[in-house]
């Protein structure tokens, strides 16, 4: 809702903005203006209620979201900027700050490469603990869900987590999940620290609450009690990050805890106050009003977790208010109706109805194809007929990075401009990181080998002109060459080779933290890398920080090898994609982000959240792709349906779903999600 800040708030938005004290849940569907409500709410607290800005805490799930919200908020404040002291931050950054300021223990976060290497090692040496066919990524998801108290149907999971925790303990490290759990334990063991932070932040606002894990929710309750000035905004239908601990039931638990489940009909006012005082809420799929509860769910009270299958409301928690933002200002009625039809099939959700308020004429299409080539040809024809301005307001949304990357090669072949920051950046940054690691590792290997068995021809070829030294390579006469052999064949290049070998000697004589800086800044590698590699600066800075933890060249070289191995693995995984699709060609390394002018936006379903476009195409809607073949149980299937729902609701005017039906000889299975449109409500093109 880009223009919402220029408009007057609607009645539901106004009710949320002017909510007084106590808890408030704002159920905000796509295009309903949730960021507008959050920023206006903060301004209302400061200017109308006289709240001290420094006592307001706003939590998001990404640095980008926190920065955007702060920027939009300050833009509404006017010249006086009364809200400069409001704290905007991410969950992990805020709770890390609490631990750093409240404990003497120095925390070390486990780095991604070390964690991945260990989990891969577990897959190899402890197959008895690992689900069949699982890799490091799947293990990390299982471990995270276990630590966050989410259900996982794997009998050896507790043993797997114990092994993983021993690995962290032996290295004096924690992961992000541990940080949340340690902060919770700190609050339980040290009431004084908890009291201090409660006094510091008396008004807490949470964006994208549907992505909160049970452990994070428990921390929020601890921090907000007893005032419970907890203002949460979210939509359980847009909970798509289960792999990192998010649970759509957390929003339902909030409604239970603050008694916001009674008389929630949508025929009258979208604003509901709590009434009555039940001692127990129904389970096993029963419902109250329009709110439906999942079977066997647990609820988190103030400081403790009730027993499985039971819910006893903590009498100390105040009653609150729930506001439904039911007006969708983004999607045309046809598109909103199609998306609503899809999401209503999910059982584990808060029932809600949205009305299209956008004054748009829209269309919803679906289109079957016999194979991927004809599907791509259709998309190329559609995009080729668009003006640059129309392309800029168009998105093609894929389930995986691999599928998106394959389509980029089709666009390049047909000379169609594209913007693919969300897709190609990951591949480009990964490629750049890999190239930089190979360069740096070649320098250190050559330095280590030079005095012993001789530097390898491969390493010398890689480093001799990085940065540019104008060396021809004619001096490389054998597979391995020591210092004397290099100089004897140098000829007119002798002085340059002397400088190069001198640099290599210094790399071995300095500690890693100084040698890496010498290589990057004194030798001039940074100048070369910034010129030829995308996002080189952050990668080099990260290596400088990493080197501080190593005392010898040998240990540092081993670390560089681990980092390179992990980077290569990630590149392979992205190419395979989550669906492990075997169709299409690899994205060529020469592919570039076409960012010079307007182009079609190519993104993934996870990356499209928070964006909107006039025209949206969603290709590849087949079984195995969406839902992913990894989605086996009902909760996973429902998350896949929510993922498609998020993608569909990015469209303002036109939405086209495409899928493969195959040929009589080789039929393909359309996604089961499309069966909800039988008979199809869209027009067949």
Contact of 271 with 12, CB cutoff 8 Å:
yes
Q: Which residues contact 202 (CB under 8 A, 6 or more apart)?
A: 51, 55, 227, 229
Q: Is 263 left (phi over 0), alpha (psi -120 to 50) or beta?
A: left
Read off the tokens for 513.
């933290």
**CA–CA dist 107, 60 (Å, integer):** 22
Contact of 55 with 202, CB cutoff 8 Å:
yes
Read off the tokens for 206.
């949470």
Residue 593 has what pLDDT?
37
Radius of gyration of the chain (CA): 28
Read off the tokens for 517.
């800086």
Choose among 564, 560, 585: nearest CA to 575.
Answer: 585
Q: Is 593 left (phi over 0), alpha (psi -120 to 50) or beta?
A: beta
Choose among 464, 502, 457: nearest CA to 479.
Answer: 457
Q: What is the dihedral of CA 502, 504, 506, 509, to 10 degrees?
A: -130
Residue 420 has what pLDDT?
79
Read off the tokens for 572.
């392979």
Q: Which residues contact 18 (CB under 8 A, 6 or more apart)?
A: 44, 48
**CA–CA dist 634, 639 (Å, integer):** 9
Residue ranges of domains in the chain: 11-104+183-258, 111-170, 333-417+598-674, 432-574
The separation between CA 474 and the C-alpha centre of its own chain, rounded to angstroms, equals: 49
Read off the tokens for 67.
């920065």
Is the backbone peptide bond immediately before 610 cis, with ω within 30 degrees of 0? Answer: no
Residue 59 has what pLDDT?
94
Question: Are both 11-104+183-258 and 333-417+598-674 of the same fold?
Answer: yes
DSSP structure class, residue 318 = P
Regions of the chain where pLDDT drops below 50:
1-5, 262-270, 274-313, 422-430, 572-596, 679-685
Read off the tokens for 574.
């992205």
Read off the tokens for 250.
């957390």
Tens-digit pLDDT profile for residues 559-618? 888 888 777 665 544 444 433 333 323 333 333 334 445 789 999 998 888 889 999 999
Beta bridge partners of 233: 26
**CA–CA dist 549, 544 (Å, integer):** 10
Q: What is the dihedral of CA 69, 70, 74, 80, to 10 degrees?
A: 150
> CATH for 432-574?
1.10.486
Q: What is the dihedral of CA 355, 359, 360, 366, to 10 degrees?
A: 0
Choose among 222, 247, 216, 249: nearest CA to 317.
Answer: 222
b/e per residue 135-156 (b: at least 16 CB within 10 A): ebebbbbbbbbbbbbbebeeee
Q: Which residues contact 269 (CB under 8 A, 6 or more apart)?
A: none
Q: What is the pTM of this model?
A: 0.67
Residue found under tokens 């690899």 = 586
Choose among 192, 244, 273, 395: nearest CA to 15.
Answer: 273
For the chain, what percentages of helix, strand and coil (3-state, to nearest 5) are there? 50, 15, 40
Residue 293 has what pLDDT?
31
Contact of 320 with 274, CB cutoff 8 Å:
yes
Reported as type and span, the H/E element at residue 526 is helix 525-532
CATH 3.10.20.520 fits 11-104+183-258, yes or no: no
Contact of 270 with 11, CB cutoff 8 Å:
yes
User: How does DSSP assign 656-684, residue by residue?
Assistant: EEEEE-B-SSSB--B-GGGGGGSS-SSEE
Contact of 645 with 342, CB cutoff 8 Å:
yes
Q: Which residues contact 635 (CB under 8 A, 6 or more apart)?
A: 151, 242, 348
CA atoms within 13 A on the CB side of 221: 26
> CATH for 333-417+598-674?
3.40.50.300
Contact of 210 with 238, CB cutoff 8 Å:
yes
């Amino acid at each position: 809702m880009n223009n919402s800040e220029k408009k007057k708030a609607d009645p539901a938005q106004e009710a949320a903005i002017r909510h007084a004290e106590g808890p408030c849940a704002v159920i905000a569907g796509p295009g309903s203006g949730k960021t507008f409500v959050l920023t206006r709410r903060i301004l209302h607290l400061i200017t109308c209620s006289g709240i001290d800005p420094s006592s307001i805490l706003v939590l998001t799930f990404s640095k980008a979201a926190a920065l955007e919200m702060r920027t939009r908020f300050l833009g509404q404040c006017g010249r006086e900027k009364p809200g400069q002291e409001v704290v905007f931050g991410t969950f992990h950054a805020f709770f890390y700050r609490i631990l750093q300021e409240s404990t003497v223990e120095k925390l070390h976060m486990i780095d991604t490469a070390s964690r991945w290497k260990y989990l891969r090692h577990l897959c190899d040496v402890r197959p008895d603990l690992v689900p069949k066919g699982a890799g490091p990524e799947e293990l990390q998801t299982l471990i995270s869900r276990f630590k966050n108290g989410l259900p996982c149907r794997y009998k050896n999971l507790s043993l797997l987590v114990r092994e993983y925790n021993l690995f962290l303990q032996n290295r004096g490290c924690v992961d992000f999940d541990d940080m949340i759990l340690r902060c919770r334990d700190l609050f339980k063991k040290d009431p004084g620290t908890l009291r201090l932070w409660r006094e510091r932040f008396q008004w807490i606002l949470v964006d994208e609450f549907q992505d909160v894990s049970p452990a994070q929710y428990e921390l929020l309750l601890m921090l907000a009690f007893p005032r419970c000035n907890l203002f949460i905004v979210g939509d359980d239908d847009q909970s798509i990050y289960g792999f990192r601990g998010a649970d759509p039931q957390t929003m339902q638990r909030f409604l239970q805890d603050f008694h916001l489940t009674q008389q929630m009909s949508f025929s009258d006012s979208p604003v509901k106050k709590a009434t009555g005082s039940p001692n127990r809420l129904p389970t096993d799929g029963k419902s109250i009003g329009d709110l439906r509860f999942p079977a066997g769910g647990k609820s988190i009270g103030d400081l403790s977790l009730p027993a499985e299958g039971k819910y006893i409301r903590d009498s100390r928690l105040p009653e609150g208010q729930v506001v439904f933002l039911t007006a969708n200002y983004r999607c045309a009625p046809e598109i909103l109706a199609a998306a609503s039809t899809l999401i209503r099939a999910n059982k584990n959700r808060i029932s809600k109805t949205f009305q299209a308020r956008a004054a748009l004429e829209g269309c919803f299409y679906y289109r079957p194809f016999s194979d991927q080539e004809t599907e791509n040809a259709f998309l190329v024809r559609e995009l080729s007929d668009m003006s640059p301005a129309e392309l800029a307001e168009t998105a093609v949304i894929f389930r995986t990075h691999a599928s998106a990357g394959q389509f980029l090669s089709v666009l390049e072949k047909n000379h169609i401009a594209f913007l693919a920051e969300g897709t190609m950046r990951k591949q480009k940054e990964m490629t750049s990181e890999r190239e930089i690691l190979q360069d740096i590792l070649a320098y250190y290997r050559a330095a280590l080998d030079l005095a012993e068995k001789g530097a390898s021809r491969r390493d010398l070829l890689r480093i001799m002109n990085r940065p540019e030294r104008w060396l021809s390579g004619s001096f490389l006469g054998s597979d391995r060459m020591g210092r004397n052999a290099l100089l004897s064949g140098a000829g007119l290049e002798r002085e340059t080779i002397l400088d190069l070998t001198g640099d290599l000697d210094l790399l071995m004589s300095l500690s890693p933290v100084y040698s890496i800086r010498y290589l990057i800044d004194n030798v001039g590698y940074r100048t070369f890398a910034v010129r030829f590699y995308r996002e080189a600066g952050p990668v080099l800075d990260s290596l400088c920080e990493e080197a501080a933890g190593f005392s010898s060249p040998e240990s540092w070289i081993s670390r560089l090898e681990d980092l390179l191995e992990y980077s290569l693995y990630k590149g392979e995984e992205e190419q395979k994609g989550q669906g492990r699709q075997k169709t299409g060609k690899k994205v060529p390394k020469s592919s570039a982000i076409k960012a010079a002018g307007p182009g079609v936006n190519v993104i993934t379903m996870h990356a499209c959240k928070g964006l909107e476009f006039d025209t949206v195409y969603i290709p590849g809607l087949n079984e195995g792709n969406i839902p992913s073949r990894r989605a086996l149980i009902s909760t996973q299937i429902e998350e896949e349906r929510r993922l498609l729902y998020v993608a569909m609701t990015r469209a303002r005017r036109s939405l086209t779903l495409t899928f493969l039906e195959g040929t009589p000889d080789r039929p393909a299975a359309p996604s089961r999600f499309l069966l909800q449109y039988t008979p199809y409500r869209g027009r067949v093109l």
